[in-house]
Structure 1
Amino acid sequence: MARLTLSALAWAVGGRIPRRLGDALARGLAPGLALLPLAPVRAWEHTATLATGRQMTRRDRTRLVEAWLRNTFWSFSLAGWSDEEILQTVDVAATDIAKLRDSLAGPGLVLALPHMGSWDFAGAWCARIGIKVVSVAERLPDGLYERFRAARDGMGMEIHPVDGPDLMRSLADAVRAGKIVCLLSDRDLSSRGLAVQWPGAGTVKVPAGPALLARRTGADLRVATTRFEGGRLSISVTDAIAPGDPTSMMQEAVGHFAEAVAASPSNWLMLRKLFL
């Protein structure tokens, strides 16, 4: 009951925090929190050091905590943002928007994303430019999944539970209906993941779903990454990944993840140990 109350309180309070206040809290709290021996921050530091080949610094930790807090505040409050505010907060190249629209006008599109920046915000932005987004989420306890799904529905995103019946068929139907299926893909939540190499770091297990869905539907598979730059969100989209077997396709996706993480490790909200 206590956990349920705290969860409900977090959603109730977080949803009422305006963007500017949330950003100010993230900036103000991050330096102090980065000094604490927080297990998620320690896990990120271990993982990011292996992924990038360099030791994370105190400045990196502070930026990580700030991005973590900002993503949390934004996720709680996004359903209350105006269309104009969402559109004005995103930086994305016209060529990257064209990549999305070209795939949607042709074979369809599956996007593989790492846990970077604010992937929720990227979905809300897509909805505001007329692109329908479908994604998958874990069944969180204490009613959190239901709150999460309802909030994303309010942003124009359709969410399926990861353990839902006939999930792959539902996602394939969404691709064929001209929707983008966005799947977080830098860690595996099952025991059926694919072992691939993170360039220069080691072996990771990632879900096969994005590659399998692209192969099943004939859709393009691309990687999208997001990162905070000050109080704004930058979105990047890659060229389509060459069709092949699922392992080779996900290996190429992980290569794109690695490039994005190396460029901005503090935006990678991988708050756990990742490498095998």
Structure 2
Amino acid sequence: MNRLLILAARYSRWIPETFLRGLFLMAADLAWFFHLGGVGQLEKNLAHVLAVPDGDEADGPRKEGGGPALDHRRLRHLSRLGMRSYFTYFSEALTVGARDEDTLLARVRGAGSGYPSPAKRDIGIRSVPIGMGHQGNWDYAGFWAGKRVSPVTTVAEKLKDRALLETFADIRRRLGINILLTGEPDITGRLTRLLEGPGQVVPLLADRDLSRNGVFVRAFDSCIRVAAGPAVIALDSGLPLYTVNMYRERLSGDRRRRAGTPYGYVCRIDGPIDVSPFEDLPRDQAVQELTQAWVDAWARGVRQHPEDWHMLQPIFIDDLDLSRMHGVPDSVKAMAGKGEQS
């Protein structure tokens, strides 16, 4: 599979995008129908998103114990949309080398409470740290931000398959995104120093982090472990922190013609989250509370468009082996224990 992805990216100019998209959608439907790969985990994750915390809705069916009953038909429908959205991302990423700038810009538009304020070049843009998740097409988001806001630097996971890593790193560099790789020395310090200069955008995919430095936060009806990076670089640079949610939308008219596809994306920027209330707290508490603040904002966006959240790995405490993880708070262990008992 990795070899096929690499070949598709290498010869993208000779592969019709509609053909590759159709092929990937067929693969998505097959994986969904036969519950292959990460479909089961995707549905476990989406079940948390669909769950309604007590007090949010008084009506509707309830399961034993007081929580909301899960609509399995809706969950299956949503997981199919999620797989199709995820595989569409791959077909778009692999053929990005065959798209021109105007086409790519037509596929993305900005929105949200934090836009367009970070992009006002005429008043001298300050740098922007961003926390975001694996939603929509984050490569398109980086390209769009680089053209409409400021130069973009982000961190990519260092894959075991070196050829595949270079393929996707090259795709992002071709889009004008500066890439750092996990495991490189002093990444947090380098990003903080970058933010201290004017006009830099640093978005970090942070909705999953199983390392020693991950932060446990409340999300949806449970608890997840996310990366500390967005909160750390915002605190160290003293800059407000923003969140991004990205989801697909149907295009029409001239924009659809220029995009060359029936669907594009909304890059919703929300914020700013002022870091000054957190600066006098003990360091660990400041990182914890600022992380919780951006996750709260991000989670609201996921609940509005769960079909574009591509999380096929375990992140909720129900699915993690906490005994093998470092620095798990007692409150999280207690929460996990209650979940096992129920």
Amino acid at match of 1:78: V
Q: Hey, what does 2:78 align to over in structure 1?
A: 60
More contact order relative to length (CA 8 Å, sep ≥ 6): 1
CA distance in 2, matches of 1:27, 1:5: 19
The answer (yes or no) to whether the contact 1:22–1:70 under 8 Å persists in 2 is no
Amino acid at match of 2:171: A
Q: Go from structure 1 to structure 2 and tell me whether the alpha carbon gap of 1:249 and 1:15 turns closer, same or farther (over 3 Å shift).
A: farther
Identify the match of residue 180 of structure 1 among 191, 195, 201: 201
Q: Hey, what does 2:49 align to over in structure 1?
A: 51
Report 1:28-43 matches (<5 A).
28-43=26-41
The answer (yes or no) to whether the contact 1:15–1:76 under 8 Å persists in 2 is no
TM-score for both structures, normalised by structure 1 = 0.89
CA distance in 2, matches of 1:140, 1:163: 11
Identify the match of residue 117 of structure 1 among 133, 136, 139: 136
What secondary structure is seen at the aligned counterpart in 2 of 1:186? coil
Measure how far apart 1:116 and its partner are.
Answer: 0.7
Measure how far apart 1:188 and its partner are.
Answer: 0.7
Q: Hey, what does 2:271 align to over in structure 1?
A: 239
What secondary structure is seen at the aligned counterpart in 2 of 1:191? coil
Measure how far apart 1:70 and its partner are.
Answer: 0.7
Q: Go from structure 1 to structure 2 and tell me whether the alpha carbon gap of 1:215 and 1:96 turns closer, same or farther (over 3 Å shift).
A: closer
CA distance in 2, matches of 1:149, 1:90: 21
Q: Hey, what does 2:169 align to over in structure 1?
A: 149
Render the CA deviation track for 1:96-128: whole Å, top value 9, x for unaligned. 432322599454210111111111110011122
Q: Hey, what does 1:269 align to over in structure 2?
A: 310
Identify the match of residue 108 of structure 1 among 127, 131, 137: 127
Render the CA deviation track for 1:12-43: whole Å, top value 9, x for unaligned. 35575444334444555544432112131110
Q: Go from structure 1 to structure 2 and tell me whether the alpha carbon gap of 1:174 and 1:22 turns closer, same or farther (over 3 Å shift).
A: farther
The answer (yes or no) to whether the contact 1:133–1:181 under 8 Å persists in 2 is yes
What secondary structure is seen at the aligned counterpart in 2 of 1:239? strand
Task: Work out whether 1:252 is the aligned partner of 2:293.
Answer: yes
Structure index of larger Rg: 2
User: Which stretch of the first structure deviates more once superposed, 220-229 or 96-105?
Assistant: 96-105
The answer (yes or no) to whether the contact 1:112–1:253 under 8 Å persists in 2 is yes
Q: Hey, what does 1:131 align to over in structure 2?
A: 150
User: Which stretch of the first structure deviates more once superposed, 209-218 or 70-79?
Assistant: 70-79
Amino acid at match of 1:180: V
Aligned length: 273
The answer (yes or no) to whether the contact 2:118–2:125 under 8 Å persists in 1 is no
Kindly report the root-mean-square deviation, in angstroms, between the aligned alpha carbons of the 2 structures: 2.4
Render the CA deviation track for 1:175-215: whole Å, top value 9, x for unaligned. 1232100101111141211111114x111111111111011
Q: Provide structure 1 residue ranges, at least 5 long, that are not aligned to the other structure.
A: none
Q: Go from structure 1 to structure 2 and tell me whether the alpha carbon gap of 1:274 and 1:95 turns closer, same or farther (over 3 Å shift).
A: closer
Task: Work out whether 1:192 is the aligned partner of 2:192.
Answer: no
% same residue: 24
Q: Provide structure 2 residue ranges, at least 5 long, that are not aligned to the other structure.
A: 52-69, 251-262, 279-285, 318-342
CA distance in 1, matches of 2:96, 2:114: 23
The answer (yes or no) to whether the contact 2:129–2:202 under 8 Å persists in 1 is yes
What secondary structure is seen at the aligned counterpart in 1 of 2:18? helix
The answer (yes or no) to whether the contact 1:242–1:249 under 8 Å persists in 2 is no
TM-score for both structures, normalised by structure 2 = 0.73
Amino acid at match of 1:235: C
Amino acid at match of 2:183: D
Task: Work out whether 1:223 is the aligned partner of 2:223.
Answer: no
